[in-house]
Amino acid sequence: MSAAPHTGNGKVTVPELLQRKTSAGNSPENSKKIVCLTAYDYPTARLLDEAGVDVILVGDSLAMVALGYDSTLPVTLDEMIHHARAVRRGTKHALLVADMPFGSYHSDTAESLRNAVRFVKEASVEAVKVEGGERRLELIARLTEAEIPVMGHIGLTPQSVNSLGGYRVQGKTTDSAEQLLRDARAVEAAGAFAVVLEAVPRELAAQITRELRIPTIGIGAGPDCDGQILVVHDMLGLTFDQTPKFARQYANLGETISKAVRGYCDDVRSGAFPSDRESYHSGSTSRKDDPVKISIC
């Protein structure tokens, strides 16, 4: 039997995730791997939560996979909060984390704190995620001190796309691997409760995972991290562009949706939808006609 993924009432909490790292054994039966996915709306959050995902991240990947931008940079704090509120309504058990979008934590610390507080007050998120290592030390410490748990994010940080010159694997040279180790240590020392490692060599991710007391969450960082995260649209086959090699596709909902919509188009055009059984009748006394549950537009 695998270890119980949740404690007590089933709610995943920050202390419980830290505890999992401390008490994790090596055997697969004791696996306490942390399962994370992104979500941006109520139905997806609810499905993920009910399926037993541990951490739901309202990622700023929202910009690309749900809003159609070609990077994460344009999404605003208000848009992130709007989506986080919807995800909150669908999330009962998982820990809810929201990405602080580009620009919302890049000026002074006081403003960054006010922005993080908005996520907690307006969307009831339980933690925020910020990208960057050593250079976020002061910010992470300030947020943590203000009782806002922080998830770090190092390696390929998509908000740095312009300075990195593209989306590339990080930490491949000795110098950049050493920088990543310093970043990981800094994020932990500042008080983060977990850190995302994105697009880094497996060997380096394993070394960071061994060194840190906080859990590492990998995305394109190999199997030795304490947990894994994927962008939900990638794993469900709901993206239009080529996905990175680490984004395993578990379903092809894009194809399912296209097929369903083509069927609907055909049926409306041919008159096959709606049928008589899907219609109401004047003067009918049938009780079946009474309860109408419709979405009101």
Q: What phi-psi label fits residue 8: left (phi over 0), alpha (psi between -120 and 50 degrees) or beta?
A: left
Q: Residue 59 CB, nearest distance to ligand KIV (Å)?
A: 2
Give residue number: closest CB to ligand KIV.
59
Q: Is 117 helix (H, G, I), strand (E, B) or coil?
A: helix
User: Quick one: 148 or 296, whose CB is closer to ligand KIV?
Assistant: 148
Q: Residue 38 CB, nearest distance to ligand KIV (Å)?
A: 4
**H or E stretch including 198?**
strand 194-198
Residue 45 has which token pair? 């959050």
Nearest to 244 by CA among 224, 229, 227, 225: 229
Is residue 64 within 8 Å of residue 89, measured between CB atoms?
Answer: no
Q: Residue 57 CB, nearest distance to ligand KIV (Å)?
A: 6
* Planar angle of CA 219, 49, 213, nearest 5 degrees: 45
Q: Residue 217 CB, nearest distance to ligand KIV (Å)?
A: 7
User: Quick one: 204 or 231, whose CB is closer to ligand KIV?
Assistant: 231
54, 102, 156 from 161: Cα distances, Å: 29, 11, 8
Q: Residue 279 CB, nearest distance to ligand KIV (Å)?
A: 44
204-211 LR contacts (CB < 8 Å, sep 24+): 204/171, 204/177, 204/180, 207/181, 208/180, 208/181, 208/184, 211/181, 211/184, 211/185
Say which of 126, 131, 188, 198 is annotated catalytic: 198
d(CA 42, CA 180): 35
User: Quick one: 181 or 221, whose CB is closer to ligand KIV?
Assistant: 221
**Exposure of 168 by Cβ count < 10 A (0-12 exposed, 13-18 middle, 19+ buried)?**
exposed
User: Quick one: 1 or 70, whose CB is closer to ligand KIV?
Assistant: 70
Is residue 110 within 8 Å of residue 116, measured between CB atoms?
Answer: no
User: Quick one: 61 or 216, whose CB is closer to ligand KIV?
Assistant: 61
d(CA 88, CA 39): 10
User: Quick one: 158 or 281, whose CB is closer to ligand KIV?
Assistant: 158
d(CA 297, CA 289): 21
The answer to whether 198 is a known catalytic residue is yes
Q: Which residues bind ligand KIV (CB under 6 A)?
A: 38, 57, 59-61, 99, 153, 196, 219, 229, 231
Residue 280 has which token pair? 């109401």
Q: Residue 270 CB, nearest distance to ligand KIV (Å)?
A: 41
Residues annotated catalytic, as ranges: 198
